[in-house]
């Protein structure tokens, strides 16, 4: 097996984990190449990603077209999509080499060849006040929102910003799209789940829309945006078949009764 090793040098502590992972692969006589997150190439048939969820999202989008599985080694805060820490690297590498992992295809969204594995976050370019957003689905007007923004999310992204904004948690392999208003100024503005085949268009009564993709820190201002399901799906690797529910419990404390 040939392996890609991707790291994010903007996150403190990456070098020590990278050194451990590279030494582990060398000891096991595995062919690999190492790439910075901003200079990725597809050398192998499996990818380890060192960083936070943002790093993993970017790598998963990049390797989706080659259907290369991606597994995260967490350096961020929550690490919702990551599978391991530094103390688990040797065991994780052994399991991957022995084929003791599963993969999940994850729906992605696209707009003009720009991919999102989590979400498109749409706001007015004047972010200091609420904006009016017009929602169309398949070219037909649905409703308008006065809100701080709209989140157009995949099931994978339903546990990210969409969850914080009051959206539902979707099982990550569902083929659906979630539309969540951010701080709506009406009580009847509720999240909406639609089939993956729908084409979602958002316009604004303001001059321009600000669009951030998977938490991008440099949102682009445009007049309107149309979003649809991508033909490519991201391929994530997991070591635990019950990983989604266990992560909900362990990292989001979902379904855990308060202590007496």
Active-site amino acid positions: 53
Judged by DSSP in three states, 96 sits in helix
Extract the tokens encoding 183.
């701080």
**How far, in Å, CA of 172 to CA of 153, rounded?**
11
Q: Facing residues of 50 across strands?
A: 7, 73
Tell which residue, 137, 116, 118, 135, has the closest CA to residue 209: 135
How far apart are alpha carbons 113 and 15 in whole angstroms? 33
């Amino acid at each position: 097996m040939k392996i890609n090793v991707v790291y994010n040098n903007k996150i403190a502590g990456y070098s020590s984990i990278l050194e451990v992972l590279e030494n582990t692969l060398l000891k096991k006589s595995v062919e690999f190449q190492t790439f910075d997150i901003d200079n990725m190439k597809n050398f192998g048939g499996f990818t380890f990603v060192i960083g936070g969820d943002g790093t993993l999202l970017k790598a998963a989008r990049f390797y989706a077209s080659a259907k290369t599985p991606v597994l995260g080694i967490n350096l961020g805060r929550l690490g919702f999509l990551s599978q391991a820490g530094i103390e688990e690297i040797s065991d994780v590498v052994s399991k991957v080499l022995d084929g003791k992992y599963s993969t999940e295809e994850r729906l992605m969204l696209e707009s003009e060849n720009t991919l999102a594995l989590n979400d498109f976050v749409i706001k007015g370019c004047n972010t200091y006040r609420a904006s009016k957003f017009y929602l169309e689905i398949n070219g037909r007007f649905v409703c308008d929102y006065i809100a701080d923004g709209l989140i157009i999310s995949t099931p994978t992204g339903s546990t990210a910003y969409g969850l914080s904004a009051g959206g539902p948690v979707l099982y990550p392999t569902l083929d659906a799209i979630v539309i969540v208003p951010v701080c709506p100024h009406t009580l009847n503005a509720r999240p909406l789940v639609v089939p993956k085949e729908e084409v979602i268009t958002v316009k604004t009564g303001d001059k321009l829309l600000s669009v951030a993709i998977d938490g991008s820190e440099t949102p682009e201002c445009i007049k309107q945006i149309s979003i649809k399901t991508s033909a490519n799906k991201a391929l994530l690797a997991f070591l635990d078949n019950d990983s989604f529910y266990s992560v909900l419990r362990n990292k989001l404390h979902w379904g855990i009764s308060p202590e007496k």
